[in-house]
Structure formats: C-alpha cells, structure tokens
Copies of this chain bind each other. A is one copy, B any other.
C-alpha cells in the first residue's frame, strides 16, 4: 500500500475543525504533499491552503484524493459520493481511513475498476505479513511508548523525524495507524492486523537499513491500557527499539475510556517498557520524555518538564512547544 502524492485533501461538509483533524495532520506534517483542499457547502474547517475543484487539483499535479474528514452517522453521504466518482473519473485514486470502507460502495468499485484507479482503505491491511522471526536488523529504531493511549506518541515520532531530517540525519517515520499512514502514504494499520502477525508486521515495517538510519516508529495503545496493551507489546518486540521515548499527558485523570484505571507513573512505564524491550534488544535505552502540555500555559509547561527531568534524569520536552532537538540529541 503506497498512496501516490501529491494529495487533494477532501474536507467535505466538516461540522467543525476537529472533524477535519486527519486533513490538518497531513497538511501540518506534509505540506509539500498537499496541492489544495476541497470543501463543500457548509464546511466549517479550513486548512488555509487553496480551495480547488477536482480538475484544478489534477491540473496542479494531484494524484490522490485523500478523505481527511470524519463522516457523520456512519454512512458515506450522496454528496461525498458524487465528488468521489468525479475524482475517479478524472484520474485520481482515493485514500480513506473511514470505518465505512470505500470498497464497500459498489458504485465506487465499479468506477475505479473501469478507470483503473485505486481505492485505498488504510484501515485494511494490504499485505500478508509474516510471523516475526526476532532477528536483529541493521540500522536503528526509536519507539514512543505512553502512560496512556492518545497522549501524543504519533506527534512525538513525527516531530523527532522532522528534527532528524532538518539536522541532515537519516530518518523515516514509520506509521502504524490510519492518520500516520495517510500522512506518510505508507505503513501498517496495526490495530487491524491478526494477532499472530502483529510483531511480524512491525518487523516488515522497519527492515534492515543503513547503520546510521533511524526509524521513528509510531506507538499505539499503552502497556497499561487493558484494551490495547497487546498491540503495544507487539510494537516493542517487533520494533526491537534501540531507544524508547516516554510520552505523557499530565491532565488525564484516568486511562482513556477506562474510568476505573489510574495512570501509571513515568517511572513505572520506564521500568516495564525497558524490561520488555530488552527481551529482543538488550542494548535498548530509555532516552527521553515527551510531555503533551497543550492544556498548560508556558510557565506551567516549562516547570513541569523541568520537574520530570529532575525526577527521572532524562531530557524532557514538549516537542510542539520546545522542539524535538533535545530528544534527537540522545539518538547516537
């Protein structure tokens, strides 16, 4: 599964900016890959890039229409479908992370087949992944692990990857979730992979590479989250990281979606993640902490990072606020 860029970002009739957060993520992290946005009447989101029709996007070089908006009511509406059909007929592929699959829409399948275009549902694994073999691979790998789900692991890996490349170092962001895959155009939708093949899918995603090349692997779930910890485990054992970054969101009062569960401390996370990582890579180190301080003001954010840094003895930053330079300085 490789999604051809550049993209036309489809925002449809997004009810608010949050509904278009996938498009926002693509625009933030791959601005060069976005020729424009397509908005329909009533759209309440705006990425600040040129509004384009399908034909204008094609004239500007677009290869794929990417559905960057969440749909309402669990169906793909008629007004969306008419744009998708026009896009296929005009020569674009379509990529989507919606729960409703493009390939479940018979009209889209028919047009895509007749025009020889691709419908790419990134929630569906497109590859038969192998069973993990646990063998060491050349090159280096960094994995973000969290005290909880949705604490900023993807953002951290993307920010570190960008800082690496800005510094002229060899790095690849390795996507393991829908948004990450749409951002990079490639990856493994790990939560949709069959249990026996999870770790093998992560090995497949992070193959042998140059000695100094770093894979920045997008984390999923949390070792302390009862619903998804098995996915996190497969990332640690399949990814065989050389470096771990601990990710945390300080205002969370309980584990996401599990009101009975409190969050672990960063020290507990450090100890458990490192113990597990050393099973496959005895050289693994925990090298830094990434704190999502979006809910704090500048002074509180800086104070919190300083306090964690003192307690754990690890470089601690919010990569959005402070940059990821201090984290990548630990990748040696």
Say yes or no for A146: interface residue by CB 8 A criterion: no
* Docked complex Cα distance between A240 and B276 (Å): 20
- Across the interface, do A227 and B133 meet the contact criterion of CB distance under 8 Å? yes
Say yes or no for A270: interface residue by CB 8 A criterion: no
Q: How far is the CB of A145 from chain B (nearest CB, A)?
A: 13
Contact string against B for A residues 256-277, beta-carbon threshold 8 Å, 1 for contact and 0 otherwise: 0110110010000000100110
- Across the interface, do A224 and B279 meet the contact criterion of CB distance under 8 Å? yes
The oligomer's copy count stands at: 2
Contact string against B for A residues 184-195, beta-carbon threshold 8 Å, 1 for contact and 0 otherwise: 000000111111
* Docked complex Cα distance between A228 and B136 (Å): 17
What residue of chain B has the Cβ atom nearest to residue A255's Cβ?
A: B134
What residue of chain B has the Cβ atom nearest to residue A190's Cβ?
A: B195
* Docked complex Cα distance between A279 and B136 (Å): 30
Say yes or no for A131: interface residue by CB 8 A criterion: yes
What residue of chain B has the Cβ atom nearest to residue A235's Cβ?
A: B230
Say yes or no for A144: interface residue by CB 8 A criterion: no
- Across the interface, do B227 and A131 meet the contact criterion of CB distance under 8 Å? yes
Q: How far is the CB of A235 from chain B (nearest CB, A)?
A: 8
Listed stretches A54-62, A73-81, A196-204, A298-306; interface member: A196-204
Return the contact of A237 from the options B136, B226, B276 (Cβ within 8 A).
B226
What residue of chain B has the Cβ atom nearest to residue A136's Cβ?
A: B260
Q: How far is the CB of A242 from chain B (nearest CB, A)?
A: 15
Say yes or no for A238: interface residue by CB 8 A criterion: yes
- Across the interface, do A229 and B195 meet the contact criterion of CB distance under 8 Å? no
Q: How far is the CB of A251 from chain B (nearest CB, A)?
A: 21
- Across the interface, do A199 and B224 meet the contact criterion of CB distance under 8 Å? no
* Docked complex Cα distance between A135 and B131 (Å): 31
Say yes or no for A231: interface residue by CB 8 A criterion: yes
Say yes or no for A234: interface residue by CB 8 A criterion: yes
- Across the interface, do B231 and A230 meet the contact criterion of CB distance under 8 Å? yes
- Across the interface, do A195 and B200 meet the contact criterion of CB distance under 8 Å? no
* Docked complex Cα distance between A233 and B240 (Å): 17
Say yes or no for A280: interface residue by CB 8 A criterion: yes
Q: In the assembled complex, which residues on chain B have CB atoms less than 8 Å from the CB atom of A200?
A: 227
Q: In the assembled complex, which residues on chain B have CB atoms less than 8 Å from the CB atom of A223?
A: 233, 276, 279
A220-250 interface with B by 8 A CB criterion: 223-224, 226-234, 237-238, 240
Top 4 A-B residue pairs of the complex, sorted by shortest distance between their CB atoms? A230-B234, A134-B226, A230-B230, A233-B233
Could you list some 20 contacts between A and B, CB below 8 A? Answer: A131-B227, A132-B227, A133-B257, A134-B226, A134-B227, A135-B260, A191-B195, A193-B194, A193-B195, A194-B194, A195-B198, A195-B231, A195-B234, A196-B231, A198-B230, A199-B230, A200-B227, A229-B234, A230-B230, A264-B279
